[in-house]
Amino acid sequence: MNRTKPRPGVRGAAFVKSGGFFIEYPSEGFRWKPDYEVKLMLAIAKFGGSSLSCAAAWRQVREIVTGDIARRVIVVSAAGKRHADDHKITDLLYLCHAHLRYGVPCWELWRKIAGRYLAIRDECAINFPIEDELDAIYENLSPQTSADFLASRGEYLAAKLMAAYLGFSFVDAASWLQFDYAGNVLTDTSYAALSSLADGRKIVTPGFYGALPDGRIHTFSRGGSDITGSLAAAALHADVYENWTDVPGILTADPRIVKNPAPIASLSYPELQLLSGAGTQVLHESAVAPVRAAQIPLQIRSTFAPELPGTRIGFEAGAGLEETGVVGFAGRRAVSMLRVLFREETRADADTLVRACLAQQGIAVFHGSQGVEGLCLLLIAKPGQDALHAACDEVRRLLPGAQVKLRENLAALPDDAGDSEAGCFNGICRRSGPPSGPDAARGTVLRQRQPVRNRTARGIRARIRLSACFSVRL
């Protein structure tokens, strides 16, 4: 056994009996373990589109991968946006398919797609003939080309380039990720295939797609590369599934609504599920289920701040960390507030009637309050949505004399007063007690509000904070 000490900064060794190797202890440094042989930890590292948007991001990815010998299986997305006005490669590919379908030339679109990958190849000095792959795809495009196949080429090309960049082996997702004709993943078949193909090698595989029984390409819904990474982790019995993105983990609140929310160091899988169910866009349930079932921890980290620990999702809430009152909460954007003030004779069934009008137009109600003077509903609806205005017109027709008032483009958050043990609007709590830490001092982690039980002349009052600057009583 080679007793060469691992180079500084390289981590990721676990150990089983027989042989020998150096192992690093946090307090003692490197120690030789003569009765053990090395069994390297396995980390499945998935990099999203923002982590692969440009050459600088690709160089950062390589530093991350080579900095830990455990990262031997890499899952990549297609190149994402470089800036706000840019386009994702996948969006361009779907647009290419629309051009093909209706007989519109798509050469200019394809030139943009090819230019992105060629620029990455040249700026990173990757020794790989990506032109051959691009030409082969373009020459075979036709109106019969499926949308799934064309959309998947973004991940395919990225994985080809990344494998050459890292010196890893390329493994096509279509060779191991198998679907049935209904679009369900054949987990046993897929797991066995990937285990055989990986076989201890360093590999790069594309996310987002797999193959049907007849060999045709089939894709997940958008964001499906997260699912691919999770399935790969479960198939290879990984020690951790790392999801690298452009944010330093899961935050206590939506940064588009709350200024400077603090990151969450750790969550349990049930807590993640609660946050996702409350509206937080973290990870799709399908991307969590495979690693959760296999009891593999999930680490969300930032490609652009790899020194930060990110958020670890496991099976114990806040393991080894001091618990705080509120884990986090989910606010809502694109909220509309509908108030209906009605006369005495229309009060009895007004709530049912208004909700029926909204449901008929496909408008979702996520919070409501009714009193003796009227009712107020918070709706999930984009500003200017025709269906919402049509529903309001129908309410006016069915409730003559009622005052129908609509306010659009709001953001709803829980109120910052009340008892953390009470039921909440959106949010989850690890234990009773007020929030602690610097984030609580800034007022960005809001406590859950105790429901108001007093009946007044105005009926039951529910208080919700709308946007960041004003509060209203419903």
Instruction: Give the Cα separation of 381 and 334 in Å (integer).
Output: 6
pLDDT at 22: 53
Is the pLDDT higher at 202 or at 472? 202
> 78 and 54 in one domain?
yes
Of 151-155, 209-213, 387-391, where does mean pLDDT reach its minimum? 387-391
> 130 and 30 in one domain?
no
- Whether pLDDT at 419 is above 60: no
Residues 6+ apart with CB under 8 A from 295: 315
Is the pLDDT higher at 435 or at 314? 314
Q: Specify if 7 maps to a domain.
A: yes
Highest-confidence segment of 14-28, 302-316, 320-334, 427-441: 302-316
Instruction: Give the Cα separation of 353 and 36 in Å (integer).
Output: 72
Phi-psi region of 81 (alpha: psi -120 to 50; beta: other; left: phi over 0): beta
pLDDT at 425: 35
What's the whole-number average pLDDT of the chain? 76
Whole domain around residue 366: which residue ranges?
332-473
> 79 and 30 in one domain?
no
pLDDT over 70, % of the chain: 66
The enclosing H or E element of 96 equals helix 89-101
What is the band of 254 on the pLDDT scale with cuts at 50, 70, 90?
low
| E strand segments, 117-207 | 169-170, 203-206
pLDDT at 353: 83
Of 87-96, 353-362, 458-467, where does mean pLDDT reach its minimum? 458-467
Strand partners, 268: 314
Q: Which of 206, 225, 246 corresponds to the end of one domain?
A: 246
- Whether pLDDT at 83 is above 60: yes
What is the band of 436 on the pLDDT scale with cuts at 50, 70, 90?
very low
Q: Which of 217, 246, 275 corresponds to the end of one domain?
A: 246
Mean pLDDT of 88-100: 95
Mean pLDDT of 364-369: 72
- Whether pLDDT at 33 is above 50: yes
Mean pLDDT of 92-99: 95
By the 8 A CB rule, do 249 and 100 touch? Answer: no
Instruction: Give the Cα separation of 98 and 92 in Å (integer).
Output: 10
CATH code for the domain in which residue 119 is found: 3.40.1160.10
By the 8 A CB rule, do 315 and 268 touch? Answer: yes
Mean pLDDT of 354-362: 85
Phi-psi region of 229 (alpha: psi -120 to 50; beta: other; left: phi over 0): alpha
- Whether pLDDT at 127 is above 80: yes
> 13 and 107 in one domain?
no
> 417 and 347 in one domain?
yes
User: What residue type is 381 in one-letter code?
Assistant: A
Is the pLDDT higher at 434 or at 185? 185
Residue 34 Cα to chain centre, angstroms: 43
Instruction: Give the Cα separation of 250 and 264 in Å (integer).
Output: 6
pLDDT at 375: 80
Query: For the segment 226-246, what is each residue's pLDDT rounded down to a tens digit?
Result: 999 999 999 999 999 999 998
What is the band of 283 on the pLDDT scale with cuts at 50, 70, 90?
confident
Highest-confidence segment of 83-87, 336-340, 446-450: 83-87
End-to-end CA distance of the chain: 72
CATH code for the domain in which residue 445 is found: 3.30.70.260
pLDDT at 256: 62
> 103 and 158 in one domain?
yes
How many degrees, rounded to 5, is the angle at CA 202 between CA 199 and CA 204?
110
> 47 and 162 in one domain?
yes
What is the band of 339 on the pLDDT scale with cuts at 50, 70, 90?
confident
Q: Specify if 58 maps to a domain.
A: yes
A 10 A CB-CB count for 280 gives 21
pLDDT at 351: 78
Is the pLDDT higher at 38 or at 66? 66
β-pairing, 71-76 vs 266-268, is: unpaired
Phi, psi of 438 (to 5 degrees): -65, -30
pLDDT at 300: 93
Q: Specify if 280 maps to a domain.
A: no
Q: Specify if 370 maps to a domain.
A: yes
Q: Specify if 165 maps to a domain.
A: yes
> 150 and 195 in one domain?
yes
pLDDT at 364: 79
Counted domains in the chain: 3
